[in-house]
């Protein structure tokens, strides 16, 4: 299991403000920092970026790291990333790449050898045909997704996003001046959008639908039949692009093979598949993702990337190539560990009174409904919202989680269980204790 080097985990620089920051003065420091941002940014920062919400997953993780740096024993269940080290054969390929002088600019869409390896992976594992020319390697799946949105969404175009959804989807659409159209799903429907809901959300302005299975933040996985139901609705609208975020593909506990939306004949020529090595191969820091898309979209993404970032790290590309072409048993080993932890976290969460949990079939998140605790008090302190609850858990239980409102569904919190069994046990004990104190 990996020891994460905390000092390398910088996200937002609050250093000037957190030197003296202890839990007692924590709120004040953040308030001062936000005030500074409001005054300063009003003068210098574009409307586009001012309208953007900061990533709550990264912000909570950053807060947790800051408290840890002050010697507070925080268990971080906020950020979602595998806690395993990158497998040795992948690291060795990166070392070799350096020795063999893969140190020059790489082609904008990625080395052809990597795009061929991805094309073969898509055919072997997902039964879909994308030529290497239809694949563009990006700086993580996040970048690839943003590229596809920027390349396809015009001002005013609607993008349907079933929620809860990963924090960055809505913001990326807004960045493209599109309109995120959220469709609410709850725990009672296992957080899966139904064909009826999808049909009702489609309008003449719909440009794209963005789906994620297994889902972040809920861990829900659509069955083939459920996907079929959605595909039947989408078949009625051939002008709508389907963006399928498949980054958690391999973290699947259903016992069934993964079904990619790209494999449905009805959607041929209008699915952009987003994936990468971060989750399956424990490579979050290497920053390699890709989009596999219809040729015109792949070309547009490449053009955009050519002006904004160029080809991504040559060394990381060689490592990713080794991931796709090398032995795959590491993927299954990690999947098994996550499944065991899923069972543990579900069992422990189910013992906590009034916490409603479903059994996630994939990814490494639990998304309990916490509304029974909202409106309660800890002494004078009111826990009015899920964000208050997440902050209370951080400050009183020293467990970092992410509030459901960050994923467009207030009344929930997200727990990432990509951590050791001991951490899971201790975190759930602390959460149970802190919740029991609310009156
Ligand atoms: N999609 C989802 C749903 C995610 O949770 C993540 C992880 N942050 C990503 C895409 C992006 O992954 P990465 O950029 O690390 O490849
Ligand atoms: N996918 C992770 C999460 O949701 C990584 C952080 C991020 O990029 O949002 O926590």
Q: Tens digit of pLDDT for each residue in 314-334? A: 999 999 999 999 999 999 999
List the structure tokens of 289: 């993702």
List the structure tokens of 167: 């924090």
The pLDDT tens digits for 241-276 are 999 999 999 999 999 999 999 999 999 999 999 999
Asked whether residue 33 carries a pLDDT value surpassing 80, the answer given is no
Band of pLDDT at residue 15, cut at 50, 70 and 90: very low
Token pair 């209008």: residue: 270
At 6 the pLDDT is 54
Average pLDDT, the chain: 93
CA 371 to each of CA 57, 403, 411, 418, 435: distance values in angstroms, whole numbers, following the listed order: 20, 12, 5, 25, 12
Of 34-48, 76-90, 317-331, 418-432, the range with the lowest mean pLDDT is: 34-48
Residue 198 CA, ligand 1 centroid: distance in Å: 24
The pLDDT tens digits for 139-186 are 999 999 999 999 999 999 999 999 999 999 999 999 999 999 999 999
Asked whether residue 399 carries a pLDDT value surpassing 50, the answer given is yes
Q: Which residue has the higher pLDDT, 59 or 118?
A: 118
Residue 210 CA, ligand 1 centroid: distance in Å: 14
Token pair 């959300």: residue: 201
Percent of the chain at pLDDT exceeding 90? 86
- Ligand 1: lining residues by beta carbon, under 6 Å: 80, 140-142, 166, 212, 216, 245, 247, 276, 278, 284, 289
At 25 the pLDDT is 55
b/e per residue, 268-279, with b = 16+ CB within 10 A?
eebbbbbbbbbb
Band of pLDDT at residue 62, cut at 50, 70 and 90: confident
Handedness of CA 320, 325, 330, 335 (dihedral sign): positive
Residue 345 CA, ligand 2 centroid: distance in Å: 19
Atom of ligand 1 nearest to the CA of 144: 14
At 121 the pLDDT is 98
Band of pLDDT at residue 54, cut at 50, 70 and 90: confident
Asked whether residue 296 carries a pLDDT value surpassing 50, the answer given is yes
Q: Name the closest ligand to CA 9.
A: 2
Asked whether residue 39 carries a pLDDT value surpassing 80, the answer given is no
Asked whether residue 16 carries a pLDDT value surpassing 70, the answer given is no
Q: Exposed, middle or buried, 88 (CB in 10 Å: 0-12/13-18/19+)?
A: exposed
Atom of ligand 1 nearest to the CA of 139: 14
The C-alpha angle with vertex 215 and arms to 184 and 75, in degrees rounded to 5, equals 105
Of 51-55, 183-187, 390-394, the range with the lowest mean pLDDT is: 51-55
Asked whether residue 14 carries a pLDDT value surpassing 70, the answer given is no
b/e per residue, 247-258, with b = 16+ CB within 10 A?
bbbbbbbeeeeb
Most distant pair of Cα atoms in the chain: their distance: 63
At 56 the pLDDT is 87
Band of pLDDT at residue 10, cut at 50, 70 and 90: very low
pTM: 0.91
**Partners of 289 in the β-ladder:** 138, 276
At 29 the pLDDT is 65
**Partners of 76 in the β-ladder:** 400
Using most ligand atoms within 8 A of CB, pick from 166, 250, 273 the residue to mutate for ligand 1.
166
Helix, strand or coil for residue 360? coil
Q: How would you classify the pairing of strands 413-416 and 402-403?
A: antiparallel
Q: Name the closest ligand to CA 418.
A: 2
Band of pLDDT at residue 26, cut at 50, 70 and 90: low
- Ligand 2: lining residues by beta carbon, under 6 Å: 55, 57-58, 79-81, 142, 166-168, 216
Q: Residue range 390-399: average pLDDT?
A: 95
Instruction: At 318, give phi and psi (nearest 5°).
Output: -65, -35
Phi-psi region of 131 (alpha: psi -120 to 50; beta: other; left: phi over 0): beta
At 63 the pLDDT is 86
Band of pLDDT at residue 22, cut at 50, 70 and 90: very low
């Amino acid at each position: 299991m990996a020891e994460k080097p905390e000092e390398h985990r910088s996200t937002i620089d609050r250093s000037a403000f957190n030197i003296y920051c202890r839990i007692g003065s924590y709120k004040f420091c953040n308030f001062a920092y936000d005030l500074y941002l409001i005054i300063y940014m009003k003068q210098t920062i574009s409307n586009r970026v001012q309208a953007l919400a900061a990533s709550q997953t990264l912000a909570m993780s950053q807060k947790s790291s800051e408290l840890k740096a002050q010697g507070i024993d925080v268990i971080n269940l906020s950020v979602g990333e595998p806690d395993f080290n990158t497998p040795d054969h992948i690291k060795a390929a990166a070392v070799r790449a350096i020795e063999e002088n893969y140190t020059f600019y790489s082609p904008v869409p990625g080395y052809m050898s990597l795009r061929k390896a991805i094309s073969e992976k898509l055919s072997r594992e997902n039964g879909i045909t994308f030529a290497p020319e239809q694949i563009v390697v990006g700086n993580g799946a996040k970048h690839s997704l943003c590229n596809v949105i920027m390349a396809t969404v015009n001002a005013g175009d609607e993008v349907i996003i079933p929620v809860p959804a990963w924090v960055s989807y809505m913001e990326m659409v807004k960045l493209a001046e599109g309109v995120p159209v959220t469709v609410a799903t709850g725990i009672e429907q296992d957080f899966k959008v139904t064909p009826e809901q999808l049909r009702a959300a489609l309008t003449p302005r719909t440009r794209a639908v963005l789906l994620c299975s297994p889902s972040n933040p809920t861990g829900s996985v659509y069955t083939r039949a459920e996907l079929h139901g959605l595909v039947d609705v989408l078949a009625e609208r051939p002008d709508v692009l389907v963006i399928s975020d498949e980054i958690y593909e391999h973290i699947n506990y259903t016992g069934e093979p993964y079904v990619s939306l790209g494999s449905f004949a009805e959607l041929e020529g209008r699915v952009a598949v987003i994936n990468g090595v971060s989750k399956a191969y424990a490579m979050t820091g290497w920053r390699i993702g890709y989009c596999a898309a219809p040729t015109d979209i792949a070309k547009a993404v490449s053009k955009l990337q050519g002006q904004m970032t160029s080809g991504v790290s040559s060394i990381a590309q060689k490592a990713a190539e080794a991931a796709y072409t090398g032995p795959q048993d590491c993927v299954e080993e990690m999947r098994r560990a996550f499944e065991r932890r899923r069972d543990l976290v579900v069992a422990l969460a189910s013992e906590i009174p009034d916490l409603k949990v479903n059994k996630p079939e994939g990814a490494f998140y639990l998304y309990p409904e916490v509304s029974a605790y909202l409106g309660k008090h800890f002494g004078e302190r009111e826990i009015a919202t899920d964000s208050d609850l997440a902050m209370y858990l951080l400050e009183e239980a020293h467990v970092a989680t992410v509030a459901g409102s960050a994923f467009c569904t207030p009344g929930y919190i997200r727990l990432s269980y990509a951590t050791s069994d001991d951490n899971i046990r201790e975190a759930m004990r602390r959460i149970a204790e802190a919740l029991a104190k609310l009156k």
